[in-house]
Chains A and B, each alone.
Chain A
Amino acid sequence: MRILVVKDDPVIADAVRVGLTLGGAIVDCVGTCADALAAVSTTRFSAIVLDIMLPDGSGIDVLREIRAGKETIPVLLLTARDEISDRVTGLDAGADDYLVKPFDLDELAARLRAITRRSDGRTDSCLVHGTIRVDPAEASVTVDGALVPLSRREFAVLVALMERPGVIRSRSELEERLYGWDDDVESNAVEVHIHHLRNKIGRETIETVRGLGYRMRAI
C-alpha cells in the first residue's frame, strides 16, 4: 500500500510516515497543496492522508482538484478543526473519511485500510487466493494456515498482486508500489522480491507474463 501524506507539520508527518511504514505501507510526505497535486499527477497512490490546513491553501481545494480529474483514489482528511461544517464540506468535496487531531495512529491505519478496501470493492478485510491468506491489519500472511514471515517489500508485492487476482502488474507499477521517492531502487529489485516471495509461498503461485509483468496464477 503506497500512501501519500499531505501534512505541513514535520513532527506529525514524520510520525505518520514511520507509523504507517511499521504497518507495512510505503509512505511519501509532502507539505503543500502544490506538491500534493504534483505527487498525485505523477504517482499512483493507494490512498491519500490530507490535512485541511496547509500553508499555501486548503486541503479541501486540493481534494476538489483531485476529484475534478476523475481520480477515484481514496482520501482521508485530517483536521484540527472539529467543526461539523468542515467535515461536511470535506466529505461533500469527495473525501472518503476524516480524522480529527489529535488522532490515533492505529485508527488512522485502520481507516486507511478500510477506505482502500472499499475502493477495491472488497468486503473481506483479508485477501485470499487459494490457500494463501493476507491480513493487511496484522501485516501477516498464512499459507495453509501456517504463518509465513515476509519482509515489508515482499508483503507489499504480494498485496499488490492479490488485490486484483488475474490482473497483470507491470514491473514499474510494482516498483511504484514498493518504493517511496526517497528510496534507492536497484534495477532488478522487483525480480529479487518476486524470487524471494516464490520461495516462501510456493513457486507456482506467481506467474511471469513475459514482457508485461506478473500476476497471481489462476487456480
Chain B
Amino acid sequence: MMSLRLRLFLILIGATGLIWLAAVSWIYVSSQRELEHVLDTRLQEAARMVASLAEGFGRSSSVEDADSKALPTLSGYERQLSCQIWSLDGRLIAKSSGAPEGVLTDRKSGFSDHEINGEAWRVYAVEDASKGIRVLVGDRLGLRERLVGDLVKGLLWPALLIVPLLGLLIWLSLNRGFRPLAWITNDLTHRKADDMRPVNVAATPSEVQPLTNALNQLFAKVELARRHERDLTAFAAHELRTPLAGLKAQAQVAVAADDPAVMKHALRQILVSVDRTSRLVRQLLAISRLDARGEEQGAEPIVIGDLIDEIAGATAKPDAIAVSVDERLAALTWMANRECLELAIRNLHENAIQHMPSGGHVRWTLGSSPNDIAVEDEGPGIPENEMPQVGTRFFRGQFKSPIGSGLGLSISRLALERIGARLVLSNRTDTKGLRVELLRQA
C-alpha cells in the first residue's frame, strides 16, 4: 500500500493545487473585467473630453482644417487610443494620428466592437448635436488583451513560484506531523525480542491509540502465554526431578540388594515411579496443549453419562474403590468440544480415586442444577486454608496423593474454561470428602 505520508502529500497537493488554480482563474477573470471597465471608462472620458474641447471646430470648419489640426490633449493616447471627430453630415473633421481613415463606428452613441482593417476595435461614440459633431474614441482590442495578459502574468509568476514552495512546506509539515508515529515505529523496531512492555499510550496521538491499544493487548497476551510456558517449563523440570530421583534411588537399591524380596520391592517402586512420571508427562502435554489453544470451536453434542462410563472404564483403580454413575446423567447432553470435556472429567475422576487409596465411593451425579455435573469422593477433602491455592499449577496440599502432580485440577479448570464451563470445589458436609461441580454456565 502507498505510504500514508505520500498519500496525504498527494491529496494535499491536489487540493491546494485546485484551490490555487481556481484562485488564479478568478484573479484572471476579475482583473480582466476590472481592466475592461477601467479602459471603457477611459474611452468614455476621452470621448467626452474631446467633445468638450471641440468648441473651436464649429459647423463651418473644413475638412482640410480639421485634417491639419492636431489634437494636442489627445497626443498622449496616440498609441493606444484613436480619436475621430465627424460632422453630423458625415465628414471627417479631425482625427488623431494613427487613427484609421474609415469611420470607426456607425453607432451614434455608446460602446461597440468593430473590426477595421483586420483589427478589432472597441469604440465609444458621443454625439453633440449643439456643436454638430460626433466624437469616436477607439481602443485596439489586441492592445487591451496584451495589457490584461501582462497584468495577469505579473500576478502569475509569483504564484507559480509559490507552488513548489508550497509543496516543500507541505512535505516538511507532514514529516513533522508524522513524528509521533516515527517515535512508535522507532520504539518497536529497536525493541529486543522479549521486550513485552506496553507502548506508552499517553504519548501516542489519539488517531493511532486504537492501534497501540490493540498492540498492547497483543503484547499482554503474548507475555502471558510466554510466562505460562516459562512457568510450565520451570515447574516441569522441578516436578520431574522428584520421580526421577525416586527412580534412580530405587534402581540403585535394586542393583545393590542381594535379597530377592528387597530387589522385588525396589522394582515395584520403580514401576510406581514410572507410572507417576508418565502421568506427569501426559498432564504436562495436556496443559501445554490447553494453554496453546484459544476458545474451543469444534463443539458436538456429548452424552455425559456415556462419557463418564467410558472414562471410568478406562481408568485403573484399586478393587476397594467403587465408582457409580447416576442414571440421570445418561439423559444429560452437553454441547462441547469432546477432547476438552474428556480431559476435565478424566482428571477429576483420577483425582477422586487417588485421594482415597484405601477404598471408598466415587459418585458421579447431577449437580445442584439439572444441567450441571458433580462428582463426590470420600477422601480427606481440602483444608479450608488451602482452598484458594487449589488449582494453582503444581500446588499439592497436605492431603496429596502419592502419585499426584498438582496438575489435575489445573487441567480440569483450564479445559472447562475452554468450553465455557466452570469448576466449583467444596468439602462435603454429609461426610468426609470433596464435591466438585462442573457448571455449564461460566
Contact = CB atoms under 8 A, between A and B. Distances in A.
Interface of A: 9-12, 14-16, 18-19, 22, 55-56, 80-81, 101-106
Contacts of B396: 55
27 contacts: A9-B245, A9-B246, A11-B250, A12-B245, A18-B253, A18-B257, A18-B262, A22-B256, A55-B397, A56-B398, A80-B238, A80-B241, A81-B238, A101-B241, A101-B242, A101-B245, A102-B241, A102-B244, A102-B245, A102-B247, A102-B248, A103-B245, A103-B249, A104-B252, A105-B248, A105-B249, A105-B252
A81 B239 CA distance: 10
Contacts, number: 74
Contacts of B400: 55
A14 B245 contact: no
A71 B374 CA distance: 51
Contacts of A56: 398
Interface stretch (B148-156, B264-272, B360-368): B264-272
A15 B249 contact: yes
Contacts of A103: 245, 248-249
A12 B249 CA distance: 7
Contact of A22 (B246, B257, B269, B398): B257
Interface residues of B, number: 27
Contacts of B132: none
Contacts of A11: 243, 246-247, 249-250, 269, 272-273, 276, 402
A22 B253 contact: yes
B393 to A, nearest CB: 15
Interface in B222-261: 238, 241-250, 252-253, 256-257
Interface string B380-407: 0000000000000000111010100000
Contacts of B276: 11
B256 A15 contact: no
B29 to A, nearest CB: 87
B252 A12 contact: no
A2 to B, nearest CB: 19
Interface string B329-344: 0000000000000000
A98 B115 CA distance: 122
A15 B397 contact: no
A123 to B, nearest CB: 28
A16 B242 contact: no
Given A15-B249, A55-B400, A102-B248, A9 B256 contact: no
Contacts of A106: 252
B242 A22 contact: no
B242 A12 contact: yes
A55 B399 CA distance: 8
B260 to A, nearest CB: 13
Top 10 nearest A-B pairs (CB, nearest first) are A15-B249, A11-B246, A102-B245, A101-B245, A105-B252, A15-B250, A12-B246, A102-B244, A80-B241, A18-B253
Contacts of B252: 15, 19, 104-106
